[in-house]
A = this chain, B = another copy of it.
Amino acid sequence: MHSPRFYCPQLHSVSAELDDSESHHALHVLRLSAGDEVELFDGTGTWALATISDITRKTVRLAVTESHAANPPQRPRLTVAAATPRGDRMKSMVEKLTELGVDEFIPLRTVRSVAEPRQSKLDKLRATVIAAMKQSRRNSFMSIHEATEFSVVLRQASTQKQSIHLAHPGENSSKPQAGTRGDRILLIGPEGGFTREEVLQATDYGAHQIVWPEGILRIETATITFAALLLNQMQQPS
């Protein structure tokens, strides 16, 4: 079994301290005590083995025994820009995209979008990312961006030379093709779909139209499914 993992943004080479929330989890949920071994990660690519050295009523101090630079996956980067699904579906979607290894997430503002996450919601989603990193043993954050207009996302994708994959049923749609190299961006529309104008706009940027050939997928199902299919194509063959 692996040691329990804690998020520790100030991860020094010799010692570290857990914040209130992580200390609470260590002491009162997992009931760890001095001498127990744990794993720490700072979210930007460093992780470490550590031993609990000192416990006060609310704080856990640790002695770092080994510090490692995380190995980022050897593949191009995947950004996902998706309209916001209702209720808890957004949280569940962000959790699963983090587990899969998606690099960046952008809440997508489109003509038919109905909801948009507020600042407080975005902060909660960042906490969801960290919780998923503890569970999946991922070491680098999935970045959560501010909600962004469809046209701005397209322009940025073009500037960054990402190949654009637009989930949209239609004559020109196919299953995701393995052909394209380099970084990719996946665009997922709201329940009512992208408008005709949005599809044309994406086409002007050279977007590939992709579709799941069986049935209509909910926002979060489409997002998870296409992210998995694209990442699978981008990973080294095994």
Closest CB-CB distance, A93 to chain B, in whole Å? Answer: 10
A217 within 8 A of B: yes
Given A92-B92, A229-B229, A235-B175, is A73 in contact with B214 using a C-beta cutoff of 8 Å? yes
Closest CB-CB distance, A85 to chain B, in whole Å? Answer: 12
Instruction: Tell me, in angstroms, the Cα distance from A30 to B170 when the chains sit together.
Output: 28
Contacting residue for A138 out of B73, B215, B231, CB 8 A: B215
A237 within 8 A of B: yes
15 additional A-B pairs beyond A96-B224, A100-B225, beta carbons within 8 Å, are A73-B213, A73-B214, A99-B215, A99-B221, A100-B212, A100-B217, A100-B221, A101-B214, A101-B215, A135-B218, A136-B215, A138-B215, A213-B238, A214-B231, A228-B229
Q: Establish whether residues A137 and B216, one from each chain, have CB atoms under 8 Å apart when the complex forms.
A: yes
Chain copies in the assembled complex: 2
Residues on B with beta carbons closer than 8 Å to the beta carbon of A215: 99-101, 136-138
Residues on B with beta carbons closer than 8 Å to the beta carbon of A95: 218, 221
A128 within 8 A of B: no
Contacting residue for A229 out of B212, B214, B232, CB 8 A: B232
Closest CB-CB distance, A235 to chain B, in whole Å? Answer: 5
Closest CB-CB distance, A191 to chain B, in whole Å? Answer: 10
A/B interface sample: 23 pairs, CB < 8 A: A73-B214, A95-B218, A95-B221, A96-B218, A96-B224, A99-B216, A99-B218, A100-B215, A135-B216, A136-B215, A137-B216, A138-B214, A138-B215, A173-B238, A175-B237, A175-B238, A213-B235, A213-B236, A213-B238, A214-B231, A224-B225, A224-B228, A229-B229
A91-117: contact bitstring with B at CB < 8 Å (1 yes, 0 no)? 010011001110000000000000000
Residues on B with beta carbons closer than 8 Å to the beta carbon of A217: 99-100, 136
A174 within 8 A of B: yes
Please name the 6 residue pairs, one residue from A and one from B, whose CB atoms are nearest each other, closest first: A101-B214, A136-B215, A225-B228, A174-B238, A138-B215, A96-B221
